[in-house]
């Protein structure tokens, strides 16, 4: 009887984990060693060519650019979230609750809709340019989008709450008494900040960075819509291999490469004392 209920509880999740997680990943691992023919078909072989191709200067450039965009996005998110969370944590508890809920509200609407909102604001004939011109601040339209700026605005906007939430939860966990103790022990504001606050909130920052950096590599639709197709993220590269140039084995190889990088980052996160459940528990 015990085995029967054990089976009932666990068989769905085991089947799920194997069929919908393990198998797909093993399959693209397999694909990544194949060759494609010119018509999008797959020739079964065993080759490392797809991995070697990643290190081609053309693709390396994309990887590097995408990584630096993701990195800068992460840094901007930290720079916004950190003071934001500290200032919020100084409010009364129920005000804090309301403000954090308000952070979440926009993100309950669709990210594409919100991206579209940015297009309305940023484009050449958009709201910003219209206002600027009607105030005669500048002559011609300013290009807010179809460039790096647009991509940064889109990525930061879309990923900001993934930084705010973990940072806020670590900031709000700081015991106010610890801060008082620090002042009591003669630390000035700067020292309290660098020696007490920062170390205690580091796990939250790290958690948030992981949740911003990794998706930022893959958000092809932001680059598509706000970068105007001029900016290639790794996500765009993979998407193109699968849907445009139909070179699945190469796309699979890049994906495996991304998985490896993700795992390395997660390892680092765990090593620094991060809890895995915090990553998915907003």
Partner 1 sequence: MQRHRHLKNLFIFLVFLFLYLPIITLIVFSFNTSPLNILFEGFTLEWYGKLFSNTTLLEALKNTIIVSVVSTGISTFIGTLAAIGLQKYNFVGKNFINKLLYVPVVIPEIVLGISLLSVYTLLKLNLGLGTLIVSHIAFSIPFVIISVRTVLNSMNLQIEEAAHDLGANDFKTLTNVIIPEIMPGIISGATLAFTLSLDDVIISYFTAGPGSNTLPLQIYAMIKTGITPDVNALTTLMILVIITVLIISSLIQVRKMKKEYAR
Least gap, CB of 190 to partner 1 (angstroms): 14
| β-strand partners of 35 | 43
Task: Return d(Cα 115, Cα 68) in angstroms, integer.
Answer: 21
Cβ at position 13, least distance to partner 1 in Å: 3
The interaxial angle of helices 198-218 and 234-243, nearest 10 deg, is 30
**Residues whose CB is less than 8 angstroms from the CB of residue 238 and which lie 6 or more positions away in sequence, other chains included:** 218, 220, 251, 254, 255, 258
Rounded to a whole number of angstroms, the minimum distance from the CB of residue 195 to partner 1 is 18
Which residue number, 9 or 61, has a Cβ lying nearer to partner 1? Answer: 9
52: which 2 tokens? 């070697």
Q: How far is the CB of 61 from partner 1 (least distance, A)?
A: 19
Q: Decide whether 79 or 185 has the Cβ nearer to partner 1.
A: 79
CA atoms within 13 A of residue 175's CA, in its CB half-sphere: 5
Nearer to partner 1, 38 or 134 (CB): 134
Report the residue number, 20 or 138, with the smaller CB distance to partner 1: 20
Phi-psi region of 136 (alpha: psi -120 to 50; beta: other; left: phi over 0): left
Minimum CB distance to partner 1, residue 22 (Å): 6
* d(C-alpha 244, C-alpha 121), whole Å: 30
- Max distance between CA atoms of the chain, in angstroms, equals 80
Whether the CA torsion 242, 70, 65, 48 is positive or negative: it is negative
What is the number of residues in the chain?
282
In terms of Cβ atoms closer than 10 Å to its own Cβ (0-12, 13-18, 19+), residue 86 is middle
Given the complex with partner 1, which of 23 and 185 has the nearer CB atom? 23
Shortest distance, CB of residue 159 to partner 1, whole angstroms?
A: 12
Helix (H, G, I), strand (E, B) or coil at 139: coil
Q: How far is the CB of 258 from partner 1 (least distance, A)?
A: 6
Q: 191: number of CA atoms within 13 Å, CB side? A: 9
């Amino acid at each position: 009887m015990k085995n029967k209920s054990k089976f009932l509880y666990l068989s769905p999740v085991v089947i799920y984990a194997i069929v919908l997680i393990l198998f797909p990943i093993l399959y693209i691992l397999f694909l990544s060693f194949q060759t494609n023919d010119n018509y999008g078909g797959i020739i079964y072989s065993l080759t490392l060519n797809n991995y070697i191709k990643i290190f081609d200067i053309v693709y390396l450039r994309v990887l590097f650019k995408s990584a630096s965009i993701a990195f800068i996005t992460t840094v901007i998110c930290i720079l916004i979230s950190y003071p934001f969370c500290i200032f919020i944590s100084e409010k009364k508890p129920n005000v804090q609750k309301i403000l954090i809920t308000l952070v979440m509200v926009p993100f309950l609407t669709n990210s594409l809709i919100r991206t579209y909102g940015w297009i309305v604001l940023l484009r050449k004939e958009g709201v910003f340019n219209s206002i600027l011109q009607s105030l005669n601040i500048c002559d011609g339209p300013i290009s807010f989008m179809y460039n790096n700026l647009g991509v940064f605005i889109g990525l930061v906007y879309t990923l900001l709450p993934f930084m705010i939430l973990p940072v806020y939860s670590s900031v709000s966990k700081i015991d106010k008494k610890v801060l008082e103790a620090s002042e009591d022990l003669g630390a000035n504001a700067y020292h309290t900040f660098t020696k007490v606050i920062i170390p205690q909130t580091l796990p939250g920052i790290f958690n948030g960075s992981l949740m911003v950096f990794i998706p930022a590599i893959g958000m092809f639709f932001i680059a598509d819509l706000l970068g105007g197709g001029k900016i290639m993220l790794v996500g765009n590269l993979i998407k193109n291999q699968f849907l445009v140039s139909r070179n699945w084995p190469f796309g699979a190889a890049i994906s495996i490469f991304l998985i490896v990088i993700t795992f390395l980052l997660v390892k680092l996160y765990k090593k620094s004392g991060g809890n895995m459940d915090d990553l998915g528990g907003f």
